[in-house]
Structure 1
Amino acid sequence: MCRHLACLGPEEPLGRVLVEPPHSLLRQSWAPRRQRHGTVNADGFGVGWYTAEDPVPARYRRAGPIWADLSFADLARVVRSGAVLAAVRDATLAGADAEAAAAPFAAGRWLFSHNGAVAGWPESAAPLVSALPPVDLLSLQARTDSAFVWALVLHRLRCGDEPDQALGETVRRLADAAPASRLNLLLTDGTTIAATAWGDSLWYRTEPGRSTVVASEPYDDDPLWQEVPDRTVLTASRVGVLLAPLEDPAAVTPKEPCR
């Protein structure tokens, strides 16, 4: 279900990371190498990027496959950035949300993506509805599991959680409510990256002091790529990467929801 990528590094054309590598995100939309669920990611795509002049990222999202969008090909050739989050989508369920359902989701300086699925959606998520203020539910960008996951993460960020805490607590709550869920989450503010590996593949590649990439799968065969163990939360910057285990939800007392 889906492939996504976040990159921090020197400013360069978007296509340098998203299009040119031999197993780029573009190619992963029809020929992923390590995707465990689904085969083709043609139900939408999106890219968000940051510039030095503005901390709020720009986004380009569409409902169709990335390979069919000639406007994206032009954009990827000329737009430059040193901080990017992009995703190609394989929908969990059919729906009419179009590009609103395509990652990255955004709020303020944040960009977010979910690779996976909430098992039993939407019934399984009903116990978590009370964790959100009504205005957050009414503001969902799409009627999808990923949009709901993003609402849970964003609420924790607004309550003061650090990015890794917001992702970890959200994953634990969702895994407790829907144990068969796959919850690989990816979050950036253009300076740092936070991610979780929970039920699907996650990799990273870092050149300390220069660049860091976190992705569902490697976009080339560089030996610098390292796989993230399942049930792990990752935090990264241009300096390097830190990994920490994500405890089983049954062994952890959940934090009280903030209001």
Structure 2
Amino acid sequence: MCRWLAYTGTPVLLDTVLYKPVHSLIDQSLHSRMGVETTNGDGFGVGWYAPDNGTPAIVREIGPAWSNRNLREIADHVRSPLFFAHIRATTGTPVQQTNCHPFRHGRWMWMHNGGITDFHRIRRELALAVDPELFLDIEGSTDSEMMFYLALTFGLEQDPPGAVARMVGMVERTGHEHGVEFPLQMTVAVTNGQQTWAFRYSSEGASRSLYYSTEVEALRALHPDMAFLREVSDETRLIVSEPLGDLPGAWNEVPESSYGVVGRKGEDDLLPFTPQPV
């Protein structure tokens, strides 16, 4: 499958999160502890927002993240208050730039770990459910991008949790109609540059790993010697496929069938997630 992280909070160099932690995303590209595959080398992507621009910049490459000089260069020079990073292990679709995450539509970004079971069997029906005007913007061939455009079709820009719930309902109904017992496996992050939503769900009830960081104020009390914690605001949050290190008290597992929302000003919540029929 894949590994990903979403950061929001005090503007930091991408290097601070992508490379410096003991079990950073770059380390996970070679030595994932909780993923289906240990190695995630089928491409990567980073997407970030500048403080004065509502549209995210995205860089995606087909090679492995651990040896990419362009990623190293970007990470050393780009500072952002909100960014996504994703390392890919393909589930069958080609290794090509348009299949790398995150995906972008206007000010929105989306990334995914998991898969639609037997996607090749139900892909046509899912594609026909996408709004015709939105369908023109689909560039790749992944189930992940299809899920994004289905969510956009079902109202992502107005109601992200509801749109994702309707997307999941559509995928599950279509899968069941084709005899697929457990159609969907997903952890998903989506953002509009102001708020970030993260979802953990699978049809089987055995979802891929997903964690969120403990509130910075509590971490400062636990680890007063950590300089990094003194430099970021109380609103800073990380959502990750697997913890970036072994710092006690730093990471909390996202419960099964739930989603979280994090705002730029520190508003956050954790709520149950239930698919909605379409």
- Is the TM-score greater than 0.5? yes
Matched, 1:226 2:252: yes
String of CA shifts for 1:141-162, please: whole Å, max 9, x gaps.
Answer: 201111111111222336x532
2:41 aligns with 42
- Map 1:121-160 onto structure 2 (within 5 A): 121-157=119-155
1:202 aligns with 2:227: no
The one-letter amino acid of 2:159's match is E
Distance, in Å, in 2 between the alignment partners of 1:184 and 1:207 is 21
Q: Is the CA contact (8 Å cut-off) linking 2:93 and 2:142 kept in structure 1? A: no
Q: State the SS of the aligned residue for 1:129.
A: helix
Larger Rg over CA atoms: 2
Residue correspondences, number? 248
Contact 1:195 1:235 in 2 (8 A): yes
Counterpart amino acid of residue 149 in structure 2? A
Taking the aligned partners of 1:63 and 1:80, their CA distance within structure 2 comes to 23
Q: TM-score, normalised by structure 1?
A: 0.89
C-alpha contact (below 8 Å) 2:32/2:38 kept by paired residues: yes
Quickly say closer, same or farther: Cα 1:176–1:229, change in 2 above 3 A.
farther
1:186 to 2:189 alignment: yes
Does the 8 Å contact 1:200/1:230 carry over to 2?
Answer: no
Alpha-carbon separation, structure 1, partners of 2:25 and 2:63:
15
Match of 1:31 in 2: 31
1:176 corresponds in structure 2 to 173
Does the 8 A contact of 1:202 with 1:217 survive in 2?
Answer: yes
Please give the per-residue CA displacement for 1:41-76, whole angstroms capped at 9, x wherever unaligned.
101000000111211011111011011211111110
1:134-181 alpha-carbon deviations (Å, 9 max, x no partner): 3333431201111111111222336x5322222222223223333242
SS in 1 for 2:59: strand
Q: CA deviation at 1:236?
A: 1.4
Q: Describe how 1:32-181 pairs up with structure 2 within 5 A.
A: 32-35=32-35, 37-95=36-94, 98-157=96-155, 161-178=158-175, 179-181=182-184
Give the C-alpha shift of residue 212 in structure 1. Answer: 1.1
TM-score under structure 2 normalisation? 0.83
Please say if residues 127 and 146 of structure 2, whose CA atoms lie closer than 8 Å, have aligned partners that are also in contact.
Answer: no
CA-based RMSD of the aligned residues comes to 1.8
Q: Distance in 1 between matches of 2:261 and 2:123?
A: 26
2:93·2:141 contact (CA, 8 Å) conserved in 1? no
Distance of 2:171 and 2:214 partners within structure 1: 30
Percent pairwise identity:
32
1:55-106, Cα deviation, whole Å (9 max, x unpaired):
101111101101121111111011111100110000111425x111100100
| Paired residue secondary structure (1:30) | helix
From the superposition, tell whether residues 215 and 116 of structure 1 become closer, same or farther in structure 2 (CA, over 3 Å).
same
Give unpaired runs (5+ residues) of structure 1: none
Q: Which amino acid is 2:258 matched to?
A: T
Cα distance between partner residues in 2 of 1:57 and 1:185 = 18
Equivalent position SS for 1:77? helix
Structure 2: tracts of 5 or more residues without a match: 176-181, 202-206, 217-233
In the other structure, the counterpart of 2:238 is 213
Amino acid at match of 2:144: S
